[in-house]
Amino acid sequence: MKILSFYLLLLLLSVFESKGKNVLHIKHKGFKLLKSIPEPSDIVFDSIGHHYYIVSDHGYLFECDTNLNVVRKAEKSGLDFEGIDIRDGFIYISDETPREVYKYRMSDLAFVEKYPVSWGGAANKAFESISYNYVRHCFVLVAQQPTVLVEYDSTFKETGRYKIKGARNIAGARWHNGLLYLLSSLDASILVCDPNNYNVTTVYHLNVLNPEGISFDDRGQMRLVSDDTRRVYYFDKLPILHQ
Amino acid sequence: MIKKFAFITVVAAVASLTARAQYSEFDGNAAASQFTLSSDGNTLQIGGRISGYYETRFLKDDTTYQKKTHNGWAVKDFDLDILGKTANKFVYEFHASLVDLAAAAATGNTAGPQNPGIKSAYVQYKGWPVKIKLGYDKLPYSQGSMSDVWGTPFWSHANLYGGDLFSRRDFGITLNYRFLNDKFNAYAGAYSGMGENFFEYGNDASGRMEYVGRVEYSYPSKVKYNLIDEEMSATPVFRVAANARYADKTQPKGSSIITDEPDAPGVYGVRVFDGKKLAYGGDAIVKYKGFSATAEVHFMQLKPTNLTDGLYNGTDQSKNKSVVNSGGFCLGANYNWEKKHSAFSLMYEELNANDLYVGVQDWLYLAYAYKFSGFNSVLKVQYYVPVTEDKAQDPLHYTGQLRVGYQIVF
């Protein structure tokens, strides 16, 4: 009984400790189970075609309508697709384990070419995210652990590295409204970064299990994907918060 | 009947849909390894673990026993692991404990016959819906055994699933698949049945294998094989599982486990013996906001062939009905206080190795970890005490033991 009380005390301490911190907790308003996409790992919204593109841990690329029904699947597959972004009519995908970036043509999901990228850390803790920084005009891939952001030019030659502080891991990245949003699956949080220096300006905490991919639709509503639950979670627009 | 059960389990495994689950120490928990080479879609990950502790046993006030061999330094791990993944979806792994290899070589494998030094050596194909693994690795049986003790504040597994009652590793084939939107996960396999003693003896004279099956249900997401809630689960997650294993090691004329494979039976003589063995049990884990609670139970029905077998303890057949029962349970509670880099663990187990001997043993474990960098760089303190001593089967010379040490995982 005394031991049980001890653990309950610890729980209470942790709850009280989180109170009063200048962070914001946000909750999803629903979710959809992706029955036909095994282990979905990232999601991106195409504001022109109004379709979502989702990648799977099994190395597949899917195109989905706004209701997240699969409409097309790329013929060419990889090994461990973990991050996806869209730029200038092409889809770029991070294949985490073999350290490669796949390039597909959006119009017909045809494979174009792939680029080697370098990360010497654990096989399954490499680049789970890819996005484009429109301020510094470069691709960014963020290593899951340790949390290091690596900049690449258009041919995926490395141009810079930055240590990201404030999260135990990074599993997703997305450009939105002039800011870079980084998603931590281990901490279930979103870090909003200044795109000039990658300093974290805002933190949102989530009630989602192991979120791995982040996207915003054309109205700014956020979508998170979780491979462990095989779900896409729906959120409203993120509230503005200044720390 | 038992054969039918094993056969149906294997057939069900083959017939099902998607596959994905890991309990390899270095594949399932990638944070353990931090160096990877890659070339043209192939990767090779190199990892390892070094750990040691200072231990003190609090000896009983007994003038006839004053050995203090457990009062001093101990090397826990000096492990190396190589994990490869090929572009055509093959996985291969070799994991060795150099400490155990050295001890086995120096002592003729008598120091710890259940720790021969090889922990994994297998090839796996992941390109089909059902994953197939061939080689030597952990068995898909017992949540506590499948989970890595290095990822907890403890220095050792509970006695219940630490290898004294049943083997934790063996050579054979394992099928694994997930189905119903990954909520269910199933394993089925056939192994030598010699467990960790396979390297010492190879197959036994019976020519028969051991069959193992396990089915898990997780909700709302998959639950990893780590007992601590390092993810600080934002919503409650749980997993329940049932598992069973069966081996008929009845020896042909002229063969004897006791004389041919003397290390195989283990400390209680129940791991491998001349006869039939059915083990079954279940386990569960729930995690939420850093808390985790675990439960595990095992039952074993042992049917030694020879009625004069020592497992019967000289009892009459009218009393023992040609069956020896064994098993126990284990309960655990953990709290991961991530903001303070701390993890607390509490565990209680009861073990009855043989119901034809009087007595059971109960143990209480307390442990704390200060995580400088997760469990990759961690200070661990463990204290355990025998609550009930089984004087017939496992007489003790101490009343408690303390271990304090450090662990590095790379």
| Nearest CA-CA distance, residue B391 and chain A, Å | 28
Provide the CATH number for the domain around residue A91. 2.130.10.10
**Residue B9 has what pLDDT?**
40
Is the CB of residue B188 less than 8 Å from the CB of residue B177? no
Instruction: State mean pLDDT over B31-40.
Output: 76
| Nearest CA-CA distance, residue A135 and chain B, Å | 31
User: A208 φ, ψ to 5°?
Assistant: -125, 140
Q: Does B124 touch chain A (CB under 8 A)?
A: no
Instruction: Answer yes or no: is A197 within a domain.
Output: yes
Instruction: Answer yes or no: is A220 within a domain.
Output: yes
Q: Does B31 touch chain A (CB under 8 A)?
A: yes
Average pLDDT of the residues of chain B = 91
Q: Which chain A residues touch B40 with a CB distance below 8 Å?
A: 98
Instruction: Answer yes or no: is A231 within a domain.
Output: yes
With pLDDT > 90 as the criterion, what percentage of chain B qualifies? 79
**Residue A16 has what pLDDT?**
47
Q: Which chain B residues touch A230 with a CB distance below 8 Å?
A: 181-182
Instruction: State mean pLDDT over A112-118.
Output: 95
B224 has a pLDDT exceeding 60: yes
Of B221, B290, B339, the CB nearest to A209: B221
Instruction: State mean pLDDT over A63-88.
Output: 96
Instruction: Answer yes or no: is A243 within a domain.
Output: no
Instruction: Answer yes or no: is A11 within a domain.
Output: no
Instruction: State mean pLDDT over A63-81.
Output: 96
**Residue B5 has what pLDDT?**
42
Instruction: Answer yes or no: is A8 within a domain.
Output: no
Confidence of residue B324 (pLDDT cuts 50, 70, 90): very high
Q: Where are the alpha helices (DSSP H) in B160-290?
A: 198-201, 257-260
Residue whose C-alpha is closest to residue B360's, from B370, B350, B369: B350
Of B36, B233, B333, the CB nearest to A123: B36
How far apart CA A219 and CA A46 sit, in angstroms, is 12
Lowest mean pLDDT among A22-36, A217-231, B86-100, B228-242: A22-36
With pLDDT > 70 as the criterion, what percentage of chain B qualifies? 92
**Residue B351 has what pLDDT?**
96
Flag if A79 and B85 touch (Cβ within 8 Å). Answer: yes
Instruction: Answer yes or no: is A43 within a domain.
Output: yes
B124 has a pLDDT exceeding 60: yes
B109 has a pLDDT exceeding 90: no
Q: If contacts are CB pairs under 8 Å, which of residues 172-191 in chain A contact chain B?
A: 185-188
How far apart CA A10 and CA B302 sit, in angstroms, is 43
**Residue B6 has what pLDDT?**
44
B17 has a pLDDT exceeding 60: no
Under 8 Å CB-to-CB from B247, ≥6 apart: which residues?
B193, B208, B209, B210, B211, B272, B276, B277
CA terminus-to-terminus distance, chain B:
47
Residue B408 token pair = 């590095």
**DSSP symbol at A2:** H
Of A7, A35, A228, the CB nearest to B335: A7
Instruction: State mean pLDDT over A97-113.
Output: 96
B4 has a pLDDT exceeding 60: no
Residue A231, domain extent: 29-237
Q: Does A225 touch chain B (CB under 8 A)?
A: no
* For testing contact with chain A, the best of B16, B17, B43 (most A CBs within 10 A): B43
**Residue B66 has what pLDDT?**
79
A154-205: pLDDT as tens digits: 999 999 999 999 999 999 999 999 999 999 999 999 999 999 999 999 999 9
Confidence of residue B23 (pLDDT cuts 50, 70, 90): low
**Residue A3 has what pLDDT?**
53
Residue whose C-alpha is closest to residue A212's, from A34, A63, A78: A34
Q: Which residues pair with A115 in a beta bridge?
A: A101
How far apart CA B17 and CA B13 sit, in angstroms, is 9
Determine how β-strand A24-26 pairs with β-strand A200-206: parallel
Average pLDDT of the residues of chain A = 90
Q: If contacts are CB pairs under 8 Å, which of residues 297-356 in chain B contact chain A?
A: 333, 335, 337, 339, 344, 346
Is the CB of residue A128 less than 8 Å from the CB of residue A144? yes
Q: If contacts are CB pairs under 8 Å, which of residues 190-219 in chain B contact chain A?
A: none
User: B390 φ, ψ to 5°?
Assistant: -90, 90
Instruction: State mean pLDDT over B373-382.
Output: 95
B66-82: pLDDT as tens digits: 788 889 999 999 999 99
Residue B190 token pair = 């056939």
Of A99, A125, A209, the CB nearest to B220: A209
Instruction: Answer yes or no: is A128 within a domain.
Output: yes
Flag if A11 and B33 touch (Cβ within 8 Å). Answer: no
User: A184 φ, ψ to 5°?
Assistant: -105, 120
**Residue B39 has what pLDDT?**
87
Instruction: State mean pLDDT over A114-143.
Output: 95
Q: Which chain A residues touch B43 with a CB distance below 8 Å?
A: 97-99, 123
A76 has a pLDDT exceeding 50: yes
Is the CB of residue A53 less than 8 Å from the CB of residue A43? yes
B223 has a pLDDT exceeding 90: yes
**Residue B14 has what pLDDT?**
35
User: How many beta-carbon contacts under 8 Å exist across A and B?
Assistant: 108
Q: How many domains does chain A have?
A: 1
Long-range contacts of B309-312 (CB under 8 A, 24+ apart): B309/B273, B309/B274, B309/B275, B310/B269, B311/B269, B311/B270, B311/B273, B311/B354, B311/B356, B312/B356
B243-280: pLDDT as tens digits: 999 999 999 999 999 999 999 999 999 999 999 999 99
How far apart CA A190 and CA A13 sit, in angstroms, is 24
How far apart CA B218 and CA A210 sit, in angstroms, is 14
Domains and CATH numbers, chain B: 2-409 (2.40.160.10)
How far apart CA B115 and CA B103 sit, in angstroms, is 9
Instruction: State mean pLDDT over B381-387.
Output: 97
**Residue A239 has what pLDDT?**
82
A3-61: pLDDT as tens digits: 555 555 555 554 444 444 456 889 999 999 999 999 999 999 999 999 999 999 999 99
**Residue B105 has what pLDDT?**
87
B305 has a pLDDT exceeding 80: yes
Greatest CA separation found in chain A?
Answer: 64
Is the CB of residue A40 less than 8 Å from the CB of residue A32? no
Is the CB of residue B7 less than 8 Å from the CB of residue B384? no
Name the residue in chain B with its Cα closest to that of A185. B231
Q: If contacts are CB pairs under 8 Å, which of residues 142-161 in chain A contact chain B?
A: 145
Confidence of residue A215 (pLDDT cuts 50, 70, 90): very high
